[in-house]
Structure 1
């Protein structure tokens, strides 16, 4: 009997979104709900397992950790890629890494939840209403006629663009590889440069893959070009933004606010300024957390394990 551990199941949801009983005669499946930050503690808790199921990047698997897991043979990650797993190091150790599909709809929807909540001050107004505070203390920002700037126009960015157009917004996009043909296909304008995008946007939303070229793509200079009333939305990856520069921009009022779903350290440390800044609406990395996505993740995780047991792994990364 092999051992399979499902990691970082914060909501205790994994077992309810797939039929794990399909593995019962070959694999003993159990769940770890809490994130284990200490490396030695992590190895002690998971080192006996031949199969691990990881939820996105919640627990990274660099080469030095993989070297301490000699029993590990299959690592399944939710989603079709995972930058927190050293896939090459896993392959060198004979560890198969398989992924799953992931829908662009949930992060698109959360992006718009953050935009709308910031534009209409929903968190502050809702809290005031519950506390019997002032009745109407803010004035909302109109989206119709405003400019939505998209840094990235892939699957999610394109969907965000369509919703912006439905609100009557002008939509402008830029990325290092964006072509006029792609912009025309989606029906948006292509900004001449990153700087031009920052200057034009009333709402600037990030939808890039984090990599060497995109890390820190927004920093002090870019915030200096943005409108004082602009909103920044990041449901992609925290590393796209210079976090210290963002805090300074928010503290100084150089931009009006930020809706953030991703952070350099997760869970977000208790002393993070993003917990206290009044012009920040922060959510705990909920972009991909939806019923349909979880059903896909865990159903396909079971399929990945079955295929690996049969000697024909599927959805292999790398």
Structure 2
């Protein structure tokens, strides 16, 4: 009997184009969902007749309550090799195999710099004005050369962001709870004395930390109040690291010059969400890992995982 596979959140409609799904011909019927299925009831209803589900990163939670409502589900594939929104114990209890794929080959370093540069030079405002017949020049760009770039986190992504900042002639410093002077020196940046010192000294602050108990709401109203009124904040990491209400207040009151975000507490962002109309905010719809190369890896390895499962030898099992 042919199995049915659901591919979730295929917003661009490219899941079956960027990878070769032909090895599954005759054995698996693939159905893609271009609209986000919000809420457990909607997911349970839409996925009730599927044996396999492919989901991107942590966009859709799979708690035990949902898994128990999917009696046909036998294989769940998530992109990446870490996922905090899948109940692995419940999956095992219900006989569901969980597999991952290789992590991104192009992490959101490029998007971080696209957002930072867009903020610094008013790209969106100036382009919009030019195309709509608005004023010729209305913003005054913020310089990067000689300015301080403060990085919260200096791991795989943070260190690559640092390299670009150094190439721009910026003074780069970094802080994280366990960052050492040796690691900072290895990357060629300064070790900030504290989180507070980094925030107070930086002209641009970029977040590159993993989300955990210690980093959740790491930047709240007291921390944002330490930043210069001319400083900018960029978050392409995890939404919960920055207190959303505190950020909105800082933008509305002009406490900081601006911010750019690619991640949100609720995704997709609801139509009436205040972040959609916040002043001095450059916002993108979680594009950090959305690239052709990454999708080719994610969906190509999803096909490999399905093939391996059908052969009785699952690949890249999680956790």
Q: TM-score range by the shorter chain?
A: over 0.9
* Native 8 Å contact 2:232 2:259 kept in 1: yes
Which residue of the partner structure matches residue 40 of structure 2? 39
TM-superposed CA distance for 1:18, in Å, is 0.9
Q: How does 1:231-246 map to 2 (within 5 A)?
A: 231-246=232-247
Whole-angstrom distance in 2 between the partners of 1:185 and 1:91? 42
* Native 8 Å contact 2:105 2:294 kept in 1: no
Which residue of the partner structure matches residue 142 of structure 1? 143
Question: TM-score scaled by structure 2?
Answer: 0.96
Q: Secondary structure at the match of 1:72?
A: coil
The answer for unaligned runs of 5 or more in structure 2 is none
Q: How does 1:206-285 map to 2 (within 5 A)?
A: 206-285=207-286
Whole-angstrom distance in 1 between the partners of 2:170 and 2:266? 33
Which residue of the partner structure matches residue 190 of structure 1? 191
Q: Secondary structure at the match of 2:108?
A: helix
Query: For structure 1, which segment, 40-49 or 218-227, has the greater mean C-alpha deviation from structure 2 after superposition?
Result: 40-49
Query: For structure 1, which segment, 282-291 or 91-100, has the greater mean C-alpha deviation from structure 2 after superposition?
Result: 91-100
1:88–1:178 CA distance, 2 compared to 1 (3 A): farther
Whole-angstrom distance in 2 between the partners of 1:86 and 1:190? 38
TM-superposed CA distance for 1:105, in Å, is 2.7
* Native 8 Å contact 2:107 2:157 kept in 1: no
TM-superposed CA distance for 1:103, in Å, is 2.6
Q: Secondary structure at the match of 1:150?
A: strand
Q: Answer yes or no: is 1:17 the counterpart of 2:18.
A: yes
TM-superposed CA distance for 1:40, in Å, is 1.9
Q: Secondary structure at the match of 1:245?
A: helix
The answer for unaligned runs of 5 or more in structure 1 is none
Q: How does 1:1-318 map to 2 (within 5 A)?
A: 1-103=2-104, 105-318=106-319
Aligned length: 318
Q: Secondary structure at the match of 2:23?
A: helix
The C-alpha deviation readout for 1:135-170, integer Å capped at 9, x for no partner, is 111110000001111111111111101000000011
Whole-angstrom distance in 2 between the partners of 1:55 and 1:152? 24
* Native 8 Å contact 2:154 2:179 kept in 1: yes
TM-superposed CA distance for 1:57, in Å, is 2.1
Q: Secondary structure at the match of 1:28?
A: strand
The C-alpha deviation readout for 1:71-93, integer Å capped at 9, x for no partner, is 21111011222222222332332
The C-alpha deviation readout for 1:54-109, integer Å capped at 9, x for no partner, is 01222211121111112211110112222222223323322221111233534100
Query: For structure 1, which segment, 136-145 or 97-106, has the greater mean C-alpha deviation from structure 2 after superposition?
Result: 97-106
Whole-angstrom distance in 1 between the partners of 2:150 and 2:89? 36
* Native 8 Å contact 2:230 2:257 kept in 1: yes
TM-superposed CA distance for 1:175, in Å, is 0.9
* Native 8 Å contact 2:200 2:226 kept in 1: yes
TM-superposed CA distance for 1:41, in Å, is 2.5
Whole-angstrom distance in 2 between the partners of 1:311 and 1:200? 56
Whole-angstrom distance in 2 between the partners of 1:221 and 1:246? 11
Give the ranges of 4+ consecutive aligned residues of structure 1 lying more than 4 Å apart after TM superposition.
none
1:101–1:142 CA distance, 2 compared to 1 (3 A): same
* Native 8 Å contact 1:106 1:289 kept in 2: no
Query: For structure 1, which segment, 49-58 or 98-107, has the greater mean C-alpha deviation from structure 2 after superposition?
Result: 98-107
* Native 8 Å contact 1:104 1:155 kept in 2: no
Query: For structure 1, which segment, 30-39 or 8-17, has the greater mean C-alpha deviation from structure 2 after superposition?
Result: 30-39
Whole-angstrom distance in 1 between the partners of 2:169 and 2:87? 43
TM-superposed CA distance for 1:200, in Å, is 1.5
* Native 8 Å contact 1:7 1:31 kept in 2: yes
